[in-house]
Amino acid sequence: MLRLEARQKTPAWLNLTLPLVAIAVTLILCSGLILMAGAGVLDAYGVMFKASLGDSYAITETLVRAAPMIFTGLAVTLAFRAKFWNIGAEGQLLAGAMASCFVGAIPMPGPLAMLLMAVAGAAAGAAVALIPALLRVRLKVDDVVSSLLLNSVVFYILMALIEGPWKDPFSGYPISPPIEDSANLPVLIEGTRLHLGVLVAVLAAPLVWLLMARTVLGFRIRVTGENPEAARYGGIDVQRVIVVAALLSGALAGLAGVGEVGGVHFQVMSDISPGYGYSGIVIAMLARLNPLGVVPVAIFLAAVMTGAEAMSRATGVPAFLSDVIQGTALLAMLVALLFTAYRVRRSA
């Protein structure tokens, strides 16, 4: 008979292998769906792999898709470390996209435009995150609910903009005017869409890690998240730390929107984010709230999303499989987390 026994200590190797095991379990579980859709499991996964990581162009496409997910993953990681339950990365991303699009449409020298787009996008994301943070520290409003519901509010503001003042006067399509060409983020490799924002996203991960592990602010965020009472007794202004963490989290999510506007779409439309903000939650959990883990996990999920389209075309399995894989991966990881606190023992 197998039973669970509480662990005294979690071995280090387990922390590294658990996400991999969770992913493996996910792929095995989802292969059942592929079979039901009438395709071969290896065929489907093979096409998926080839289309997302099979050649250098595919890899750049996957990285382009991973960039916003790295930012939202980092945003959620930082907030969750402070136990500020920011489910609003999606709305913060949209706010960042709108603000950077507004700034990017103003004629000015390119580098200045890119910088100001980033600043405006981060500020807009932070502003949206500030609302649930203040509601929580001032009025004790549940941050899960308020940050989640704000996503809809921001989305409808976006819709109002592109259906109203931003609407394309010639075509009548609900899309914003494009940003200036000079404000487009430079492409890193000729002939691909790999833009500067991808590099910034990848570099942001070690920066967030440094912030959490090596700065006084990061220390205060960690302590506040783990035990607010001990934090207060230790002289930490807990409410301030939560607000600061929320602002940083919102800014990171806002930068995800900046990258999409500046490097991929060059304008704002209603489907600018296929749920990157929500993917950020999955990514943060799979990465076990470790900023450095966010990058590989985001690339994995981006590969799944990129590959799912090709798989759908080649094998007829609906592309929704990528959403199922995301959801299953989150559940598998939550179950896997159990094994960091417990171990399985065989008993007579």
Partner 1 sequence: MLGFQLGLSVTTPPPLIEMRGISKSFGPVKANEAVDLAVAPGEILGLLGENGAGKTTLMNILFGVYQPDAGDILANGTRVSIRNSADALAAGIGMVHQHFHLASRLTVLENLLIGIPGKSGRLDRAGALVRLDEIAANYGLRLDPDQPVSALSIGEQQRLEIIKALFRRARLLILDEPTAVLAPSEVDGLFAALRAMTTQGLGIIFISHKLNEVRALTHRCVVLRHGRVAGRVDVPAETTALEMAQLMCGHEIVPPERGPSVPGATVLSLDAVSTAGHGGMPLREVTLSVREGEIVGIAGVSGNGQRALADVVSGMLKPQSGMMEIAGKRVAAFTPREVQALGLGRIPEDRMTTGLVTNLPLADSMVLPRIGTEAFSAKGLLKPGAIVAFAEAQIEAYDIRCPGPMVRAGALSGGNLQKALLARELAFDPKVLIAAQPTRGLDIGAARFVHEKFLALRAKRCGIVVVSEDLEELLVLSDRIVVMYEGRIVGVLDAADASVSRLGLLMSGAGGNA
| Binding residues for partner 1 (CB under 8 A) | 1, 3, 5-6, 8-9, 213-220, 222-223, 226-227, 229-236, 345, 347-348
- From the list 222, 212, 202, the residue with the least C-alpha distance to 68 is 202
- Local structure of 2: helix, strand or coil: strand
Q: Least distance (Å) from partner 1 to the CB of residue 239?
A: 13
Q: Least distance (Å) from partner 1 to the CB of residue 292?
A: 17
Positive or negative: CA dihedral 221, 222, 225, 227: negative
Q: For partner 1, give the closer residue by CB, 10 or 31.
A: 10
Q: For partner 1, give the closer residue by CB, 224 or 306.
A: 224
Q: Least distance (Å) from partner 1 to the CB of residue 266?
A: 37
Q: Least distance (Å) from partner 1 to the CB of residue 343?
A: 11
Helix axes 276-286, 238-259, angle to 10 degrees: 120
| Residue 181 CB neighbour total at 10 angstroms | 9
Q: Least distance (Å) from partner 1 to the CB of residue 86?
A: 20
Per-residue DSSP letters for 262-280?
IIIISS-BTTS-SSHHHHH
Question: In angstroms, rounded to a whole number, what is the distance separating the alpha carbons of residues 208 and 72?
Answer: 12
Q: Least distance (Å) from partner 1 to the CB of residue 334?
A: 18
- Say if CB 107 and CB 136 are below 8 A apart: no
- Torsion angles phi and psi, residue 50, rounded to 5: -65, -40
- Local structure of 177: helix, strand or coil: coil
Go through 199-238 and write b for each residue having 16 or more CB atoms within 10 A of its CB, e for each that does not.
ebbbebbeebbebbeeeeebebbbbbbeebeebeeeebeb
Q: For partner 1, give the closer residue by CB, 160 or 207.
A: 207
Q: For partner 1, give the closer residue by CB, 8 or 171.
A: 8
Question: In angstroms, rounded to a whole number, what is the distance separating the alpha carbons of residues 26 and 181?
Answer: 42
User: Which amino acid belongs to residue 212?
Assistant: M
Q: For partner 1, give the closer residue by CB, 32 or 234.
A: 234
Q: For partner 1, give the closer residue by CB, 167 or 232.
A: 232
Q: Least distance (Å) from partner 1 to the CB of residue 218?
A: 8
Q: For partner 1, give the closer residue by CB, 193 or 343.
A: 343
Q: Least distance (Å) from partner 1 to the CB of residue 141?
A: 22
Q: For partner 1, give the closer residue by CB, 138 or 313.
A: 138
Would you give the end-to-end CA distance of the chain in angstroms? 6
- From the list 325, 312, 303, 322, the residue with the least C-alpha distance to 53 is 303
Q: Least distance (Å) from partner 1 to the CB of residue 80?
A: 14
Q: For partner 1, give the closer residue by CB, 115 or 213.
A: 213
Q: Would residue 140 be called left, alpha or beta, if left means φ above 0 and alpha means ψ between -120 and 50 degrees?
A: left
